[in-house]
Amino acid sequence: MSTTAAAVANGDEESITNPLLPLRRSASNATSQCQLAFGDLSMRSVLDYEYAAAFFVFAASNFGLTLFSCVITALVAPEAAGSGIPEVKAYLNGVDAPAIFSIQTLFVKILGSITAVSASLHVGKAGPMVHIGACIAAIMGQGGSKKYWLTWKWLRFFKNDRDRRDLVTCGSAAGIAAAFRAPVGGVLFALEEMASWWRSALLWRTFFTTAIVAIVLRALIDVCLRGECGLFGKGGLIMYDVTSANVSYHLKDVPPTLLLGVIGGILGSLYNFLLSKVLRIYNLINEKGTACKILLACLISIITSCLLFGLPWLASCRTCPADASEPCPTIGRSGNYKKFQCSPGQYNDLASLFFNTNDDAIKNLFSKGTDSEFHASSILIFFVTCFFLSIFSYGIVAPAGLFVPVILTGASYGRFIGMLVGSHSNLNHGLFAVLGSASLLGGSMRMTVSLCVIILELTNNLLLLPLIMLVLLVSKTVADAFNGNIYDLIMKLKGFPYLETHAEPYMRQLTVGDVVTGPLQLFHGVEKVGNIVHVLETTGHNGFPIIDESPRSEAPVLFGLVLRSHLIMLLKKKAFLLDPIRTDIDAFKQFSAEDFGKKGLGRGDRIEDIELTEEEMEMFIDLHPFSNASPYTVVETMSLAKALTLFREVGLRHLLVIPKISGRSPVVGILTRHDFMPEHILGLHPLLVKSRWKKLRFRMGRLLVGEQRRSASCRLVVDQGDSIHYLSSLLSCEPAVDVPRAALDNRFSYNPNDNPQT
């Protein structure tokens, strides 16, 4: 907050030590009424001018910081916008989104999050901290950055998908541990929310990482406690200490706790719903260009400044408590009793919340023995403002987190519920605020164990454990009845093909043959260079089956699978043959293991960069030594739900589909993660909709469905105008049934080549 605005809030300047109205009249009885009137008018003008100047400086500083954050994000690293948790979570699920872990993204995330939080926007730092930790881990995993001359040869051993994914998981855990000073909570957050694949070795690695974070934090805090860090020297590893609060509760305190859980679930689902709608609108605005992105962020900054400066005028001044633990009203820039427009010995409770950092505002709401320091109307105004400002501030083109705004919003309505309950509960208002934060976190983010431990580490009060567990379980259960968690909704809006743990019900009625699409691109074991170049230039596929002619049968046989990156490396190294003969192991002589290692994100070679002569295009490449000779395969009649389980649990990128009957092509298709997406499946079968009862339903009215039996399966033939739709492999079919009408909620046209990272 600027100096002038701080003077207004704290009352440091002598000229504004009195309230605006009523103004102090002259003590001299000899002064005429005219002089009094002009004196009042003059004083009023001076005060109005100073408040206007303070607001201008406050709004201008916020505007400048917001503009800086948005400009560097929009122009340098657009991937740094938002919290970063959905991007990291999608990567750990197997989605290779380009540039999300680049050097530019790292520095923009650091600078942008600092300026966005400093600009009084209602955004948090936890999400950016997770992304920052993941960026550092990913850059280390790829051996540094050759572009910026930051390389470490000893890190080249991590140039593979699994090790880099483990490092990113450790980085995300370190981010939470640093943001909330919660090392154990960071481990559980990575386990519960981030990682799609978990094993015991990853547990101790993340634990070791967060332990190092705690040690470094402790060392830096000790340095700052000596007075060498200014305002940063306050605090410790426990951010909101409520250990000395009275946590003696009885059975009569359980109903208010359950009520908080229900309210948190409803508000959390509403929060997710409104945020998804706002993000859709922001996406339409952002598509119009960079200027529109920046203008939108500047508009949000101006609105935020107006609300933060204007709403405290609605609150009445309150007398300073006699037992206040710090000077009241606040002297200086840091404190919890902001004077704003009040008289000496008074403070503005709403200004004490708005004109503080988010951490200090949370401390105010969590504090014990302050049941009479906040008015219910002020808490209600603060709750409504935080709820909507956090929704409208998140979608701007700037690094922004959700954790702290959700904690702050939940603490405000939790304290308000505590005021309503009053003497009917043994819990004080500060403990109600803690439970309110837990309920809104559970209702919005749908985590339980990790959130419980994070809150316990934040507050340092184990006696709250049963109540926090109860409120988290209730809020999550209530919210799950309405929509998904906030990060899953954001991933869907961003278009990340995230694979869920469980298959959708309709996948049990489909086979893998129903979703594979063609044409399928195949290579022979010894292939012509020109054919390889043509296929790579005309398709975006990343995996190609290798077939060989079999001397024992007329049909070709499957040899293996070769990756696009390996083909480009072979073309780049020009490992060509004059004659189409197999060389096998001799082809490895001109290659090293690093040539086929995982390249850094965004640094992969492209086919457009390969220059070949006409003579080289007529040569051949032996693909056998560079192929995966044992790829995972499934038969075309396998259930799509089972194929999804195999695909996700093993962590595959390609799953080959082979025919049930031999004698034709050895491969009928390739399954990638896009083939399991609902948009793709519903695009191929637009009449198929989800059914929670695991039945097929069609978007048609009272249709007569016939059956045809072929082999061990049957086909449903549905006549709709000029087109015939087939849904195969329904092993048990009912003859001549009436199918009710059902609405298809989301129908998308889908192109499997849209994402070249498949």
pLDDT in tens, 595-654: 666 665 555 677 888 888 888 899 998 888 888 999 999 999 999 999 999 999 888 889
Q: What is the pLDDT of residue 142?
A: 73
pLDDT tens, residue by residue, 419-431: 998 878 888 888 9
Q: What is the pLDDT of residue 717?
A: 30
H or E element, residue 486: helix 486-494
pLDDT at residue 689 tops 70 = no
Q: What is the pLDDT of residue 369?
A: 76
pLDDT at residue 22 tops 90 = no
Residue type, 530: G
Bridge partners (DSSP) listed for residue 670: 656
Q: What is the pLDDT of residue 580?
A: 81
Distance of CA 254 to the CA centre of its chain: 33
Q: What is the pLDDT of residue 327?
A: 74
pLDDT at residue 307 tops 50 = yes
Q: What is the pLDDT of residue 333?
A: 62
Give the percent of the chain with pLDDT over 90. Answer: 42
Across 177-181, average pLDDT: 91
pLDDT tens, residue by residue, 214-251: 999 888 888 777 777 766 655 555 566 665 555 677 78
**Which pair of structure tokens corresponds to residue 379?**
């808490």
pLDDT tens, residue by residue, 348-389: 889 889 988 888 889 889 888 777 888 999 999 999 999 999
Q: What is the pLDDT of residue 411?
A: 94
> Higher pLDDT residue, 85 or 158?
85
Please give the model's pTM, rounded to 2 decimal places.
0.81
pLDDT tens, residue by residue, 662-680: 767 889 999 999 999 988 8
Query: For the CA atoms of the chain, what is the radius of gyration?
Result: 31
- Would strands 523-524 and 543-548 be described as parallel, antiparallel, or unpaired? parallel
pLDDT at residue 590 tops 80 = no
Grouping H, G, I as helix, E, B as strand and the rest as coil, residue 737 is strand
pLDDT tens, residue by residue, 267-285: 999 999 999 999 999 999 9
- Tracing tokens 């390389």 back to the chain, one arrives at 151
CATH architecture of 519-626: Roll (3.10)
Q: What is the pLDDT of residue 337?
A: 80
**Which pair of structure tokens corresponds to residue 132?**
């920052």
- In this prediction, residue 24 has a pLDDT band, given cuts at 50, 70 and 90, of very low
Residue type, 25: R
Give the percent of the chain with pLDDT over 70. Answer: 76
Distance of CA 253 to the CA centre of its chain: 35
Residues 445 and 467: their CA atoms lie apart, in Å, by 18
Q: How far is CA 307 from CA 59, 386, 400, 689, in A?
A: 10, 10, 19, 45
CA-closest candidate to residue 484, choices 72, 1, 89, 181: 89
Q: What is the pLDDT of residue 408?
A: 94
Domain coordinates in residue numbering, the chain: 1-19+33-362+369-498, 519-626
Do the domains at 1-19+33-362+369-498 and 519-626 have one common CATH topology?
no
Residues 295 and 67: their CA atoms lie apart, in Å, by 9
- CATH class given for the domain over 1-19+33-362+369-498: mainly alpha
pLDDT tens, residue by residue, 45-91: 655 667 888 899 999 999 999 999 999 999 999 999 999 999 999 99
pLDDT at residue 699 tops 50 = no
Residues 694 and 690: their CA atoms lie apart, in Å, by 8
Top-ranked range on mean pLDDT: pick from 11-20, 34-43, 531-540: 531-540
For 477-499, b/e burial (b = at least 16 CB within 10 A) is bbbeeebbbbbbbbbbbbebbbb
Q: What is the pLDDT of residue 613?
A: 86
